[in-house]
Chains A and B, each alone.
Chain A
Amino acid sequence: QSVLTQPPSVSAAPGQKVTISCSGSSSNIGNNYVSWYQQLPGTAPKLLIYDNNKRPSGIPDRFSGSKSGTSATLGITGLQTGDEADYYCGTWDSSLSADVVFGGGTKLTVL
């Protein structure tokens, strides 16, 4: 059971937009930055978004992040078949002992 809650799956057609939610609490998302990772099949995760809404160099602006209260959202526009992957949110949790927590992951299917 992950500390951060994500929908197990989302789907959309090529060219469309999709959003993936990540719900937490005041001890994690509510008071810390959120990161998002993309994991293509059989590969290591790749950082897409850090500090809620910043993109590392090389990440296209089709990917965006936002945060409101204890929830965060990853948006992907202009969907491509190559975007089909698992997506994870992550953040710091400062409850009992500060540590990193991840969501359970969301499988994106591009129909």
Chain B
Amino acid sequence: EAGVAQSPRYKIIEKRQSVAFWCNPISGHATLYWYQQILGQGPKLLIQFQNNGVVDDSQLPKDRFSAERLKGVDSTLKIQPAKLEDSAVYLCASSPRGPRPNNEQFFGPGTRLTVL
């Protein structure tokens, strides 16, 4: 079974530029999560989808971050414009069950973003 795929793996941009990350979850997984992980910290949940609906985006900085999962499969996370403090690893995860802490999540390798 293929795992969660993310691209690109690395991205370097200058502040005020835009960037987009792509995630392809495990086939059949209804729930998809995006996390931000700053160096030395645990993953911070940004947004979670169940199919193509948003379940929780309370920690997404909506003035600059956006995410979509149009057909309930792939998802993109965008930052526009980027700030220095957005430098982090962006992790995508999926789960075959609903978006609750109990349910096992399968993580992708992440995209490491550096904002200069």
Asked whether A and B interact, the reply is no
Taking Cβ atoms with an 8 Å cutoff, the residues of A that contact B are none
